[in-house]
Amino acid sequence: MRGFPPIQLALLIIAFIVLAIPLSHLTGNAQDKPLAKAGTKEEKHVKALVRLRYAHKPATLSLKIGDQSLVTAADESPIEVDANLIEPKIGIDVLLAATWPENTPDTALTVEIEPDGLDTQSQTRWSSSGSLDEAITFTWK
């Protein structure tokens, strides 16, 4: 046995209205808030001491953090440089490149970063075939 179509249609419309009223209150009364502009957030800068240690003096040496070139020449180990880092809690990428004269055995370079108010972190990388070209990521929690 089938129901009476006009009554079924009326019940469907009533059910739709009952559901539409709370949904319109949830979605229709939102206030328009201005969107924050990208790039308006100030970047936090933190002073840090960057230390570079090695056993064999490289012929060429480069240490970059972001667009800052901190070390461009090899001096006596250790090399210490003051730097301004942008928000080190997120993480810092250090680009390290070095080459050694021929017949230099594989050697290690250690990079230490000591930001103000955070723990010192160090990472060591080994050269192979007289060269090293690494991107090192430091993160603090």
Instruction: Kindly state whether residue 90 falls inside one of the protein's structural domains.
Output: yes
Residue 21 domain-assigned?
Answer: no
30-57 pLDDT per residue, tens: 566 666 666 555 667 788 888 888 888 8
The total number of structural domains that make up the chain: 1
pTM: 0.62
In whole angstroms, how far apart are CA 66 and each of 63, 78, 117, 135?
10, 22, 21, 11
Structure tokens at 141: 């929690």
pLDDT of 132 above 80? yes
Residue 4 included in any domain: no
Q: Report yes or no on 22 lying in a domain.
A: no
- The 10s digit of each residue's pLDDT in 55-68 is 888 888 888 887 77
CB 86 within 8 A of CB 45: yes
86 part of a folded domain: yes
Q: What type of residue is 114?
A: E
Looking only at the bridges linking them, the beta strands covering 68-71 and 60-65 are antiparallel
Asked if residues 72 and 61 have their Cβ atoms less than 8 Å apart, the reply is: yes
pLDDT number for residue 90? 72
Instruction: Tell whether 27 is covered by a domain.
Output: no
CB-neighbour burial class of residue 24 (10 A; exposed 0-12, middle 13-18, buried 19+) = exposed
Q: For position 55, what pLDDT does the model report?
A: 85
Q: Residue 88's domain spans which residues?
A: 45-138
> Which tens digits make up the pLDDT trace of 79-111?
888 888 877 667 788 888 888 888 888 888 898
